[in-house]
């Protein structure tokens, strides 16, 4: 029998660690839109030197999480109407497809698993942070059930930005848009209705964000 070699596990680099910490702080709104970030402060908070911070911030800037202010530092950009519209338009492209496909192919076990994920929404007083986490988990699980890894990868990146909007949104307004209507269409194996329901869910989420951040 041939020897099975275990894949080498790469140790996280210092730049990757700092990138992960700063990005998490932005996603969780510990660094809020409009906050000014200084390299020396970030280095102290991340317990590192300025070089990894600079490289991590360059990467974050390319991804749109921060913008550089020459000779001064970095800033977390304000939420714009254009950003909201583009995020939710792209969500509809990806997620209406996944909803339709899952409605065609979902097994009873997959539907049951999706139902378990959103049980927290039926609790009398659910914690807002839990609802934010459930939203991301549910939408990624629907995408995974569609068996298209490229869509899963793209949606994961997209939902990181949506996650931050959801955190900010629940700080302004504790309202929430539930997922049980989507689940019902998947359970009924109705692709057309699943696509319509997903589109309506995303439109309602977009309109809520535009109301909160549209000025």
DSSP 15-66: HHHHHHHHHHHHHTTSS-TT-EE-HHHHHHHHTS-HHHHHHHHHHHHHTTS-
Measured distance CA(171)–CA(175) in Å, rounded: 10
3-state SS assignment for residue 72: coil
Structural domain harbouring 202: 81-213
* Residues ≥6 apart with Cβ < 8 Å to 146: 97, 98, 101, 102, 105
Contact 99, 61 (CB under 8 A): no
pLDDT of residue 214: 82
Same domain, 119 and 65: no
Contact 149, 138 (CB under 8 A): no
Contact 112, 186 (CB under 8 A): no
Q: Answer whether residue 57 shows pLDDT above 70.
A: yes
Q: Answer whether residue 7 shows pLDDT above 50.
A: no
pLDDT of residue 10: 56
Higher-scoring residue by pLDDT: 190, 129: 190
* Residues ≥6 apart with Cβ < 8 Å to 23: 60, 65
Query: pLDDT-based confidence at 9, cuts 50/70/90?
Result: very low
In 3D, which of 127, 131, 109 has the Cα closest to residue 179?
A: 131
Residue finishing a domain among 75, 90, 108 = 75
Same domain, 188 and 202: yes
pLDDT of residue 44: 95
Tell me whether residue 2 is in a domain: no
pLDDT of residue 215: 65
Same domain, 113 and 44: no
Q: Answer whether residue 140 shows pLDDT above 90.
A: yes
Same domain, 71 and 137: no
Tell me whether residue 180 is in a domain: yes
3-state SS assignment for residue 214: coil
Tell me whether residue 61 is in a domain: yes
Higher-scoring residue by pLDDT: 128, 100: 100
Count of the separate structural domains present in the chain: 2
Same domain, 87 and 58: no
Query: pLDDT-based confidence at 6, cuts 50/70/90?
Result: very low
Same domain, 133 and 49: no
Q: Which two tokens stand for residue 116?
A: 């378990």
**Full-prediction pTM beyond 0.75?**
yes
Tell me whether residue 8 is in a domain: no
Tell me whether residue 4 is in a domain: no
Q: Answer whether residue 5 shows pLDDT above 50.
A: no
What CATH number is attached to the domain comprising 188? 1.20.120.530
Residue finishing a domain among 24, 47, 75 = 75
């Amino acid at each position: 029998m041939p020897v099975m070699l275990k894949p080498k596990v790469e140790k996280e680099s210092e730049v990757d660690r700092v990138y992960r910490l700063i990005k998490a702080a932005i996603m969780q709104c510990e660094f809020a839109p409009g906050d000014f970030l200084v390299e020396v402060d970030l280095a102290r908070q991340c317990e590192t030197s300025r070089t990894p911070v600079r490289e991590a911030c360059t990467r974050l800037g390319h991804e749109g999480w921060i913008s550089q202010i020459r000779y001064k530092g970095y800033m977390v950009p304000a939420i714009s109407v254009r950003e909201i519209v583009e995020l939710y338009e792209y969500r509809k492209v990806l997620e209406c497809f996944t909803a339709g496909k899952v409605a065609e192919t979902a097994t009873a076990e997959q539907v049951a698993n999706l139902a378990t994920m959103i049980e927290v929404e039926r609790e009398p007083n659910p914690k807002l942070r839990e609802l934010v986490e459930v939203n991301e988990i549910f939408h990624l699980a629907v995408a995974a059930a569609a068996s298209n890894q490229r869509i899963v990868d793209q949606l994961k990146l997209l939902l990181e930005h949506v996650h931050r909007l959801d955190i900010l949104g629940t700080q302004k307004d504790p309202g929430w848009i539930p997922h049980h209507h989507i689940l019902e269409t998947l359970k009924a194996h109705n692709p057309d209705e699943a696509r319509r329901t997903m589109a309506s869910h995303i439109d309602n989420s977009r309109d809520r964000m535009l109301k909160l951040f549209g000025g």
